[in-house]
Each structure stands twice: as structure tokens, then as C-alpha cells.
Amino acid sequence: MSDTTSCQSPALDDPSLSADEARQRMLEGITPITQAEKVPVRSALGRILAADVIAPYDVPAHDNSAMDGYAIRYDSLAGDAETALTVVGSAFAGSAFSGQVGAGQAVRIMTGAVLPAGADTVIVQEATRVEGNTVFVPSGQKLRQNTRRAGEDLARNSVALAAGKRIGPAELGLIASLGIAELSVRRRLRVAFFSTGDELASIGSPLAPGQVYDSNRYTLYGLLTRLGADIIDLGVVPDRPEALEAALREAAGMADAIITTGGVSVGEADFVRDILARLGEIRFWKLKIKPGRPMAFGKIGNAWLFGLPGNPVAVMVNYAQFALDALLRLSGVDPLPERPLLSVEAANVIKKQPGRREYLRGAVALVDGRWQVRTMSHQGSGILRSMSEANCLVVLPEACAGVQPGDSVQVQLFDGLY
Ligand SMILES: Nc1nc2c(c(=O)[nH]1)N[C@H]1C(S)=C(S)[C@@H](COP(=O)(O)OP(=O)(O)OC[C@H]3O[C@@H](n4cnc5c(N)ncnc54)[C@H](O)[C@@H]3O)O[C@H]1N2
Ligand code: MOO
């Protein structure tokens, strides 16, 4: 590998799990929290529906016009010749035409206005010619064109949104279109997290020799806040088994999930995995991936534990590949079977050793009319700067032995991950 700062572990041939197996094992074990609460529509943004939303009536409630023009009866038209129709009134959105449209008649209609009785088709204004009270309609019209049918968006009593849906802007609008003011959503997940490491200084205090500032808790704060979790920040815990055990017990007593960073490798100060085994159960440890190989997953009491490696980029990669979907499932969402990938052309050579899946930081850009991805030159798993410069992860499968410029590679865009 060109980069010598990460995953040069001599133990790469250790038996370890593939990313897919790990993800499956993780998702299989997790059942969602069940508690729900009622919230006003706007407060539901980002929350998970606890029950189906049923449409109380048709949306739209009436057949209406999709265009400004003339509402007519299709059978008034002369087939392959222009037809002259008499305009008998107007229909506005919010102010319907109360009469009937008869044969040979038309009603001036605005977008959104209820389609008058008798009319079944709308002629767009720009296609017509008007002389006094007469509108001339050219041939070539289609039955029901430019109309919107009652219930075409949502039919009365149908499931408008299914339980488990995460509420985004489209869902807020949809719910409002049904006149619903309050929703039942799952309670927020409670996620506790802490950083481990004697070398960590907290911002606000000066750096002693050999220390680094703790950045992982800030990254996790951002990730979990965006996810909509109630976060419990337990600070920095030193590399002492008693302190780690106390922190894990405390976290397990109050959270649905715990995320720790650091202390999961094989060093002499790496205690998280052993304490997890003692206090609860390990479901897996170590994955055939880079970065993020020494990850531990398990359970303490009722709390799921994600023991992420300390390297800041590994934290973000493992969060996106594993913890994110696990937390979504826990909060009541059914995650997609796999994280969606897009295929784009590689702009540069990528060195890769077969046998593990690799996630590289890349930037997708439009170059001479083609979408390409260029990997960042610094891929060390401690280099957060390149995470900030990137807009995607390039995902290289286990079997890949390297990439040449022009090869197709798969990427996960950061949108939706972070
Ligand atoms: N003999 C082996 N050594 C290592 C292996 C291995 O398989 N065999 N794996 C390497 C890989 S890959 C990783 S990743 C790391 C993971 O180790 P830990 O999870 O125990 O993490 P630490 O050693 O505590 O820290 C790693 C690195 O990250 C910095 N760090 C930790 N926490 C923070 C924080 N909150 N904010 C900023 N930076 C942090 C820490 O200072 C270290 O530089 O193990 C390899 N070694
Ligand atoms: O290279 Mo390690 O896997 O940083 O995460």
C-alpha cells in the first residue's frame, strides 16, 4: 500500500468477518424500541412513524384542472377539425363553477379549480383562440388531458405513510395535505458515547506532550444529532479497566446504544473488548475491512455496544457502514438491504490489496462532462482533513486488486450518511 499509516497489521490473515456478514449479523439481532409519543407535525421532522398514517379523505378531494385553460366535454370535439365552443362561465381554485358544462360549451378554468360537472377534459389556454364568447379548440386533444383525478395522490382510507417511515420534508407536506396536526412517533433513541485514551485532552485545556485533542466525541455529536438521537456525552474515559467498566455500566443503564471509540485493538491498553465480554456478550470483533478493522459489536444488558476504533476516520467509516443502519433499525426504520452505491469512473490509480473491503475517501466531480471520482492523496485513518475534503467513500470489494484510471468503481455519496 502507498499509505503506511494504517492497517499495516501483520495479522491481516486472521479469521475475521466480511462487512456484509457483520452487517447482517448486526441487523438480525436488533429489534426496534416500541415506545411512542404524540408530537405536532413540525416536531415530527426526522422522527420515525410509530403507526400507519391513514388518509381520512381523497387527496385531491375533487377532480380538478392541472392547467389554466378551458374545461370541456371531450365528446363535443369534432375529431380532426377545429371546434368552436361557447364559454358559459369561469372556475377558479377555491371558487367552483356551479353549473353544468353541456355539449358545445366550455368553462374558463384555472389550475387547481374543481372540474365542473359535465366536463372531463381541459384544453390548455395557449392552444386555443378566443373570439368574444367563443373558444376555438384545435384537433388532436385527448380525453381527460390536463385533469387531476380525485384521490390520485392518496385515496381515502389508504395507507398514506407506513409505520417505520422517517419523516422528511415530503412527508411533512403529505401529512399536512391530509389535514393531520399531530402524529404518533417512536421515542428518540438514547445513545451514550465516550472516548477512551490516556492521550486525549479535552478542548479548553492545553495539550501536554504526547497528547491529542479528543475529536471523536465531536464527530459523534454531529452524527448522532443529525440522526435525531438523544445524546448522552460521557466524556473521555482513561485507559483503566475499572474506569472503562464503570463507564460502560453507567451507559448501559441509561441508553439504548453505546458508542465508544478507541481501545479495541490488541495493544496493552485496549480493554474495551474484554470488558464487553465480561459485562455482556460480543457478537463480533474485527472485520475484513480497511479502515475500521478492529471494531467490536455486542450487548450489555439492554444496550447495544458499538466499540469503534480510535482512529477518527475509522470512526466515521464504521459509523456509516454499521452503526447507522443498526441505530435506524433500533429506532424503528427498516434499513435498505444494502447501502446504495453509485458507479463512476476512477480518475486515478488506486492501489489495493485483495482480501478485505476498502473504503477510500474520494471526491466525485464532473470533469469534461463525465462524472469521475478522484481519491484523496492522504488515506491514513487518522487524517480527518481528507474526510472533510471528500464527498464520498469509494468502496472497493474484497476481490479487487487495484484500480486503473477509467475503471468503473462504486461510491457511497456522503449525502445520507453524514
Ligand atoms: N498490532 C496491531 N496494532 C494495531 C492493529 C492491529 O490489528 N494489530 N490495528 C490498527 C488499526 S487498523 C486501528 S484502527 C487501531 C485501532 O486501535 P484502537 O481502537 O485501540 O484505538 P487507539 O489505539 O485508542 O487509537 C488509535 C489512534 O486514534 C487516536 N484517537 C483515539 N481516540 C481519539 C479521539 N477521541 N480523538 C482523536 N484521536 C483519537 C489515537 O490517538 C491513536 O492515534 O489500532 C491499530 N493498531
Ligand atoms: O486503519 Mo484502522 O482500520 O484505522 O481503522
Enter the ipTM: 0.96
Q: How far is the CA of 185 from the centre of ligand 1 (A)?
A: 38
* Rg for the chain, CA atoms, rounded: 30
**Sheet with 281-285: strands ordered across:** 230-237, 190-196, 257-261, 303-308, 296-300, 281-285
Q: How far is the CA of 352 from the centre of ligand 2 (A)?
A: 15
What is the pTM for the complete model shown?
Answer: 0.89
Q: Which of 265, 285, 293 to mutate to test the pocket of ligand 2 (most atoms within 8 A of CB)?
A: 293
CA distance 253 to 232: 12
The answer to whether 361 and 314 are in contact (CB under 8 A) is: no
- CB of 294 within 6 A of ligand 1: the answer is yes
Cell numbers standing for residue 198: 490516556
Q: How far is the CA of 216 from the centre of ligand 1 (A)?
A: 12
What are the tens digits of pLDDT across the range 255-280?
A: 999 999 999 988 888 899 999 999 99
pLDDT at 416: 85
What are the tens digits of pLDDT across the range 35-85?
A: 999 999 999 999 999 999 999 999 999 999 999 999 999 999 998 999 999
- CB of 307 within 6 A of ligand 1: the answer is no
**CA-7 nearest atom, ligand 2:** 1
Q: How far is the CA of 261 from the centre of ligand 1 (A)?
A: 9
Q: How far is the CA of 315 from the centre of ligand 2 (A)?
A: 9
